Chains A and B, each alone.
Chain A
């Protein structure tokens, strides 16, 4: 079979636009939907794959900016075609589209003889295009509100923001599922339509999909050129206005991104609290401190200077407040008072003092060293002076 004649359907610029939309839409969906379902494992996996929630949001915002710029470009191109080239408004929905849709459905149900004959854009394509326009408006507006909630709350009640969030998420689900059901079926499953990639359609495809456009092309109605002089005149009007419009729209995008820094990047100051402040008095069991003794001359062989410190260190555990055997060495008076079995220290008579007898025998729980014992002996023999 000889090579079929093909017709240009999408010039390169349209195809690039489509790829840009496809990529940004896809990225928006992949980075956005997990945020709607944060507890799902697939959401966790996707966000992890993107490198964490902050990066995911950065990608989402970046893709949104690409989509916004694409939309601006599309508006400018469409305006040029409408005003300068006076291209027929083939994307505008007309009554015929409703009739076509009904006829197509009736045919599927076996209630119509044939499929509808359609022009450059059929009802399926128009539905998709205008759904995208609706989606872009809703997502753009609600996205702005979430991106700039404080500015939004200056002009609207605060609950507009959660409402925007609800709409953004629901619209996302609608858009993604509509693409899967309508677009995937219409151009991938029903027949694999490569026109958006190759830019061209075969005569046979045209005959099936766009017979009315094919007829127009054959009748020479489509590629009518505009008179160059008239075209230049229109361009002179169009370009300044379009430039201004483009500037305004770009300023809008800039504002969209920069109007406020709601995304708080600083870590708010930590509230500090006094962590360690023990209760007073301390709940630990302590005994009242003993009053500190008056300063004494060191080295003197007296109760204050020598005997008392030695007794405190070696004997006070039992013969202190505990008074084991009724005997205490806490004060001078206690020491001389003796215990249950009478005096323990007999001043002037170390050999007759039970303290020396017991200590010399050895094996007592609190045992004085030989040196200490000798000195205590000396102290008793000296009359056991207090000061």
Chain B
């Protein structure tokens, strides 16, 4: 039995109710904030330009091929811009000028570069994006990348690592504000720039192969699980505990989506109805506390999610499931232990008949016993009322 949670401070019922109320509110707020769909709507208007150098002046030099500068660490910083690419980019389309972003450059010769390396140059300059994309920039401040950067990891991604400002095509549909399917297909490639082995794994999964192979619009890309801009640390308990409902449950309880693939939408309910899921639902009350209860990805995989029927690792095959159970319950568990979990089935005469017949038994027994009791009690109440009235009348 686990006794590791210290609850000594929680004794007063009144205080507890207040805490509970506050918690419910906080939980609601958290859920609404954690919404990972992120409108990438462009800003309504460009900020007033302080610097009105026309692009032609810049392009006079910067379209020369091979224009570079050598940084003090030997990195070569390319300075050539391909005009056609820029014009075709979302910035070009919206008449963003060179100096809208390169705000410090207004004359020639340009101010001395202070960055020592190519990376330093990116890190010095990416904050220029917040001039127009403040909403997204603020979100990134909470992201795992920004935390890594603050911790000194200069490899951590900043705006320009994912969005090349000179060539970035439009990602959203101008009318709906939703990501275009074209953009979705390329999202994993963007993340792969730094997370290449995860990307390779993802490409082999039931989701990844459908996205990169078929351009399937229903499957999740990286950002559907990890979010975009405010990408949270996926190793926290908070992330784990929210994942069944907030992550996997989002699509896997969607009738319309699941019908196409013949996948049950009852997977979340059956999970919550079982021991592990019930516990996780309660543990969401204190998301910062350690948990050892499995969530979807502990059995189905993290970036290696295969079809449950996959002959190598599919967990519809009991031998494969047993390995998953053994990760927490030890290697000594009997093979039959896998059936202590009903594998998302709703018990029926065919699947998990014993559970089904227990349910049927109580479905009959409970109304029979309670119904009998209720009928007797009501008859007794009525009789007593009648008797009392009679008694009153005869007196």
Q: Which residues of A contact B (CB under 8 A)?
A: 35, 38-39, 41, 44-45, 47-49, 51-58, 61, 101, 104-105, 107-110, 131, 146, 149-150, 152-154, 156-163, 165-167, 170-171, 173-174, 177-178, 181-182, 185, 190, 262-268, 270-271, 273-279, 283-287, 289, 312, 316-318, 320-324, 365-367
Known contacts: A157-B354, A174-B365, A271-B302. The answer to whether A61 contacts B155 by CB under 8 A is no
Report yes or no: B373 in contact with A150, Cβ–Cβ below 8 A: no
Known contacts: A44-B285, A53-B279. The answer to whether A312 contacts B70 by CB under 8 A is yes
CA distance A291 to B102 in the complex (A): 31
Give 4 A-B pairs besides A109-B383, A163-B358, A317-B69 with Cβ atoms closer than 8 angstroms.
A45-B20, A174-B366, A174-B369, A181-B377
B5 contacts chain A at the CB level, 8 A cutoff:
yes
Interface residue from B66, B272, B362, B377 paired with A171 (Cβ < 8 Å) = B362
Report yes or no: B339 in contact with A157, Cβ–Cβ below 8 A: yes
Q: How far is the CB of A105 from chain B (nearest CB, A)?
A: 6
B227 contacts chain A at the CB level, 8 A cutoff:
no
| Chain A contacts for B48, CB-based, 8 A | none
B31 contacts chain A at the CB level, 8 A cutoff:
no
Report yes or no: A162 in contact with B334, Cβ–Cβ below 8 A: no
CA distance A48 to B13 in the complex (A): 10
Report yes or no: A38 in contact with B67, Cβ–Cβ below 8 A: no
Known contacts: A268-B328, A279-B193. The answer to whether A163 contacts B66 by CB under 8 A is no
Which A residue's beta carbon lies closest to that of B337? A153
Residues of B46-63 contacting chain A, CB below 8 A = 61
Report yes or no: A162 in contact with B347, Cβ–Cβ below 8 A: yes
Interface residue from A54, A166, A316 paired with B5 (Cβ < 8 Å) = A54
Residues of B237-293 contacting chain A, CB below 8 A = 272, 274-275, 277-279, 281-283, 285-286, 289-292
Which B residue's beta carbon lies closest to that of A169? B362
CA distance A268 to B2 in the complex (A): 14
Q: Which 4 A-B pairs have the closest CB atoms?
A: A158-B339, A321-B66, A170-B362, A51-B7
Q: Which residues of B contact A (CB under 8 A)?
A: 1-5, 7, 10, 13, 16-17, 19-20, 23-24, 61, 64-70, 74-76, 78-80, 108-109, 118, 155, 192-198, 235, 272, 274-275, 277-279, 281-283, 285-286, 289-292, 302-303, 327-329, 332-334, 336-342, 347, 352, 354-355, 358-359, 361-362, 365-366, 369-370, 373-374, 376-377, 379-380, 382-384
| Chain A contacts for B365, CB-based, 8 A | 170, 174
Known contacts: A162-B340, A167-B358, A271-B302. The answer to whether A289 contacts B282 by CB under 8 A is no
Report yes or no: A51 in contact with B382, Cβ–Cβ below 8 A: no
| Chain A contacts for B377, CB-based, 8 A | 181-182, 185
Which A residue's beta carbon lies closest to that of B275? A165
Interface residue from A49, A166, A316 paired with B13 (Cβ < 8 Å) = A49
Report yes or no: B64 in contact with A265, Cβ–Cβ below 8 A: no
CA distance A267 to B289 in the complex (A): 12
Known contacts: A150-B329, A262-B329. The answer to whether A174 contacts B370 by CB under 8 A is yes
Which A residue's beta carbon lies closest to that of B289? A52
| Chain A contacts for B61, CB-based, 8 A | 318, 322, 324
Interface residue from B66, B333, B361 paired with A320 (Cβ < 8 Å) = B66
| Chain A contacts for B69, CB-based, 8 A | 316-317
Interface residue from B79, B195, B282, B352 paired with A44 (Cβ < 8 Å) = B282
Most chain A Cβ neighbours within 10 Å, of B118, B155, B376: B376
CA distance A22 to B277 in the complex (A): 30
| Chain B contacts for A162, CB-based, 8 A | 274, 340-342, 347, 352, 355
| Chain B contacts for A312, CB-based, 8 A | 70
| Chain B contacts for A48, CB-based, 8 A | 16, 19-20, 23, 285
Most chain B Cβ neighbours within 10 Å, of A39, A56, A131, A158: A158
CA distance A61 to B289 in the complex (A): 22
Report yes or no: B383 in contact with A107, Cβ–Cβ below 8 A: yes
| Chain B contacts for A51, CB-based, 8 A | 5, 7, 10
Which A residue's beta carbon lies closest to that of B153? A276
Interface residue from B4, B272, B340 paired with A265 (Cβ < 8 Å) = B4
Report yes or no: A267 in contact with B290, Cβ–Cβ below 8 A: yes
Report yes or no: B67 in contact with A317, Cβ–Cβ below 8 A: yes
Report yes or no: A324 in contact with B302, Cβ–Cβ below 8 A: no
Report yes or no: A150 in contact with B235, Cβ–Cβ below 8 A: no
Report yes or no: B334 in contact with A154, Cβ–Cβ below 8 A: yes
Report yes or no: B70 in contact with A158, Cβ–Cβ below 8 A: no
Report yes or no: A287 in contact with B362, Cβ–Cβ below 8 A: no
Interface residue from A109, A159, A177, A275 paired with B195 (Cβ < 8 Å) = A275
| Chain B contacts for A316, CB-based, 8 A | 68-70
| Chain A contacts for B337, CB-based, 8 A | 149-150, 153, 158
**What are 21 A-B pairs at a CB distance below 8 A?**
A45-B17, A48-B16, A51-B10, A57-B1, A58-B2, A150-B334, A153-B339, A159-B355, A162-B341, A162-B355, A163-B354, A167-B358, A170-B358, A170-B366, A174-B365, A181-B374, A190-B380, A263-B1, A264-B292, A267-B292, A318-B61
Interface residue from B292, B302, B340, B379 paired with A108 (Cβ < 8 Å) = B379
| Chain B contacts for A55, CB-based, 8 A | 5, 7
CA distance A44 to B278 in the complex (A): 11
